[in-house]
Amino acid sequence: MTDVQFTPRVFSGIKPSGGLTLGNYLGAIKRWVAMQDEATENIYCAVDMHAVTVWQDPAALRQGTREIAAGLLAAGIDPGRSILFNQSRVHQHAELAWVFNCVARVGWMTRMTQFKDKAGANSEKASLGLYAYPSLMAADILLYHGTHVPVGEDQKQHVELTRDIAAKFNHDYGVDFFPLTQPVIEGPGTRVMNLRDGSKKMSKSGDSDMERINMLDDADTIAKKFKKAKTDPAPLPETVDGLTDRAEAKNLVDIYAGLTDQTAEAVIADYAGAGWGTFKPALADLAVSKLAPVSDEMKRLLNDPAEIDRTLEQGADKARDIAAPILDRTYEIVGFLSS
Q: With contact defined as beta carbons under 8 Å apart, do 140 and 93 qualify?
A: yes
DSSP state of 339: -
Dist CA 27 CA 191 (whole Å): 7
Tell me which H or E stretch contains 277. helix 276-302
Closest CA to 46 of 19, 27, 26, 81: 19
Position among 42, 86, 135, 155 found at the interface with ligand TYM (CB under 6 A): 155
Dist CA 193 CA 206 (whole Å): 11
Dist CA 124 CA 260 (whole Å): 44
- Among the listed residues 204, 225, 250, 280, the single catalytic one is 204
Of 169-198, binders to ligand TYM (CB under 6 A) are 190-192
Per CB under 6 A, does 147 bind ligand TYM?
A: no
Instruction: State the amino acid at position 252 in one-letter form.
Output: L
Give yes or no: 116 in active site: no
CB of 82 to ligand TYM, least distance (A): 14
CB of 203 to ligand TYM, least distance (A): 6
Pick 154 or 217: Cβ nearer ligand TYM:
154
Dist CA 69 CA 77 (whole Å): 9
Q: Who contacts 7 (Cβ-Cβ below 8 Å, separation ≥6)?
A: 41, 147
CB of 232 to ligand TYM, least distance (A): 21
Give yes or no: 290 in active site: no
Per CB under 6 A, does 31 bind ligand TYM?
A: no
Pick 20 or 288: Cβ nearer ligand TYM:
20
Pick 204 or 280: Cβ nearer ligand TYM:
204
The CA-CA-CA angle for residues 236, 185, 226, to 5°, reads: 35
Per CB under 6 A, does 13 bind ligand TYM?
A: yes
Give yes or no: 228 in active site: no
Kindly list the residues in this chain that would bind ligand TYM in the complex (CB under 6 A).
Answer: 11-15, 23-24, 26-28, 47, 50, 137, 140-141, 149, 151-152, 154-155, 158, 190-192, 201-203
Catalytic residue annotation? 118, 201, 204
